[in-house]
A = this chain, B = another copy of it.
Amino acid sequence: MQRALSVSRMTGNKSTFPDWYQAIVREADMAESSPVRGSMIIKPWGYGVWERIQQTMDRRIKEMGVDNAYFPLFIPLGFFAKEAEHVDGFAKEMAVVTHHRLKSIDGKLQPDPDAKLEEPLIVRPTSETIIGDAFSRWVKSYRDLPLKINQWANVVRWEMRTRLFLRTSEFLWQEGHTAHATREDALASTLLALEMYREFSENVLAMPVVAGEKPENERFPGADATYSIEAMMQDGKALQAGTSHYLGTSFSRAQNIRYQSDSGEMEFCHTSSWGTSTRMIGGVIMTHGDDDGLRLPPAIAPRQIVIVPMLRGKEEDAQVLAYAEGLVKDLNAQVALGEPIRALLDVKDQKSSDKRWNWVRRGAPVIVELGPRDAAGGQVSFMRRDRLRDGDKVKSQALARDEFVAEAPALLAEIQQSLFDEAKARLDANIRSDLTSFEQVAEYFGQLSDEDEETSAFKGWVRAPWSRPTGAELDKVVERLKALKLTLRNAPSQQPASFGPCVFTGAPGVEEILIGRSY
């Protein structure tokens, strides 16, 4: 039996995982490279997944009492100079607009020298500075707090080595920005966003994650604390799928975001920001994909049940189509996972077996093939994409039509849960927590050459006690890990009651931290 993809993800051949990833992105029609270096085209099926992510997360954001708004794409260069640490973090990778007109000179179109901007504009890499500037006008009194704003937007961070969804110069994201009267409120808001991301990732993307605080060296430029959710990909690497930052008063001081307190004093606000992006789609692919292509959790599948009619150019086709149309209509009237079911009848002019593999590669959760016998017998033959294979055999099941319609919501919920359970079992099985020294950690992960960087040899992560070193001591830890292509991921929110000695410094441990290779 053929594999739907030309490349398998786990052959032991180190280069295959990235090749497999690329093959899925291409074969599942998710996205493609564009003629603009570093930018991608998100194709309809991939964008449909993003729309599902947007809709389901936006509901959660609104439930947090956060309002959506829209801020300018361009940020004046001078804004970056205000927050010194922030600009250091981003200075290397920004698109700079210097002219506002083109002109034909010597028969060649070029930037018009007479239309040079007095101050260059930066295409936003993130919007703390421009939103903070607005906050400084909007916040006057404690009555205006908390101020909670979210933006869905495109951002640009110039990247030299790009990979579709995972690292592109332009990407789509949401960025939440909040201002509060106190440290406690801002920190609570930061952690509320983190928890929303965890819940979203696990319940909507079916992607288990570990939520926790990033070490100092991995903080967002200018932040007092950065938290993340980390997901384990099928090659064992970590993908940071969302971050939430407590910014203290550093941005509000740089931008004069102040409020008059109850007692009449002018105080600086404490701010937070938090974001997730189209990168999550890369995470979904590397969490759920198999050697036949993508497997989409029903909650984000643009189409959850796809019906492929088996037509033979005969008069009985009309009967099959009528039967299929009735089925789609009844399915779409059902509610699964809190929303109307999204079923589709695929009437493209294409062979039905090609259609079937198309939907297998794209990861539609349930694929129904309907022929004249199904129509006559009032039954439905379907396959669950999450359990497509029994060894090399494609598994399909049959149910009476009305039973299938009635069971569809439970079926989709079960697929959603089953994908999560599979990924959760993999995550849990691949975090080692019995290593007690850096030497053991180094031995476990082993040395990787530059060429090996693409693989982590399926080692997963290590969870080990550490003493939370700072400054130069932390730099040394980071250096030692870097030589092994390892990074500190986060200190999980859930910690044990006591800790052994730090695997790096030997000092008493104060928390456990995750170590792994990463995207």
- Assuming the contacts A34-B72, A39-B74, A121-B36, asked whether A87 and B101 have C-beta atoms less than 8 A apart, the reply is no
Establish whether residues B41 and A72, one from each chain, have CB atoms under 8 Å apart when the complex forms.
Answer: yes
A-B contact pairs, 5 of them (CB 8 A): A34-B130, A36-B76, A39-B74, A111-B120, A143-B349
Check if A93 sits within 8 Å of B100, measured CB to CB. Answer: yes
Whether the Cβ atoms of B98 and A94 lie closer than 8 Å is no
CB pair A350–B73 under 8 Å, yes or no, is no
A156 in the interface (beta carbon within 8 A): yes
Q: How many Å lie between the Cα of A172 and that of B103 in the bound state?
A: 26
Q: Cβ of A76: which chain B residues have Cβ within 8 Å of it?
A: 35-36
**Chain B residues closer than 8 Å to A72, beta-carbon distance:** 34, 36, 39-41, 170
List the number of copies, as a whole number: 2
Answer yes or no: A333 CB below 8 A from chain B CBs. Answer: no
Whether B39 lies near A73 (C-beta < 8 A) is: yes
Having A34-B71, A143-B349, one finds 17 other A-B pairs with CB under 8 Å, namely: A34-B130, A35-B130, A41-B72, A72-B170, A73-B170, A77-B109, A77-B110, A80-B102, A87-B102, A96-B97, A96-B98, A96-B99, A96-B102, A96-B111, A98-B98, A98-B99, A101-B158
Q: Does A161 contact B (CB under 8 A)?
A: no
- A95 and B68 in contact (CB under 8 A), knowing A149-B44, A154-B73? no
Which residues of A line the B interface, CB within 8 A? 32, 34-36, 39-44, 47-48, 50-51, 67-77, 79-81, 87, 91-104, 109-111, 120-123, 130, 133-134, 143, 149, 153-154, 156, 158, 170, 172, 348-350
Shortest A223–chain B CB gap in Å is 21
* Cβ–Cβ < 8 Å partners of A75 in chain B: 36
User: Are A68 and B48 in contact, with the CB atoms below 8 A?
Assistant: yes
Q: Which residue in B42, B91, B97, B99 is a CB contact (below 8 Å) of A70?
A: B42
> CB within 8 A of A170: which of B74, B94, B120?
B74
Contacts of A67 in B (CB 8 A): 44, 47-48
Is the CB–CB distance between A68 and B44 below 8 Å? yes
Contact A101 B92 (CB under 8 A): yes
A276 → chain B closest CB, angstroms: 16
| A419 → chain B closest CB, angstroms | 25
CB distance from A72 to the nearest CB of B (A): 4
CA distance A35 to B71 in the complex (A): 11
Chain B residues, Cβ within 8 Å of A134 = 32, 34, 41
Residue from A32, A103, A104, A120 whose CB has the most chain B CB atoms within 10 Å: A120
Contact indicator A47/B35 (Cβ below 8 Å): no
Q: How far is the CA of A122 from the CA of B100 in the complex (A)?
A: 9
* Cβ contact within 8 Å between B111 and A87: no
Determine if A95 and B121 form an interchain contact, defined as CB atoms under 8 angstroms apart.
Answer: yes
For residue A61, give the distance in angstroms from its CB to the closest CB of chain B: 12
Docked pose: A158 CA to B99 CA in angstroms: 10
Known contacts A68-B44, A74-B36, A96 near B100 by CB under 8 Å: yes
Known contacts A68-B48, A72-B39, A170-B73; is A100 also within 8 Å of B94 by CB? yes
The reply to whether A101 and B97 contact each other, CB–CB distance below 8 Å, is no
| Chain B nearest CB, measured from A170 CB (Å) | 5
Q: B41, B80, B120, B123: which contacts A123 (Cβ < 8 A)?
A: B123
Residues of chain B within 8 A (CB-CB) of A74 are 36, 39, 95, 170
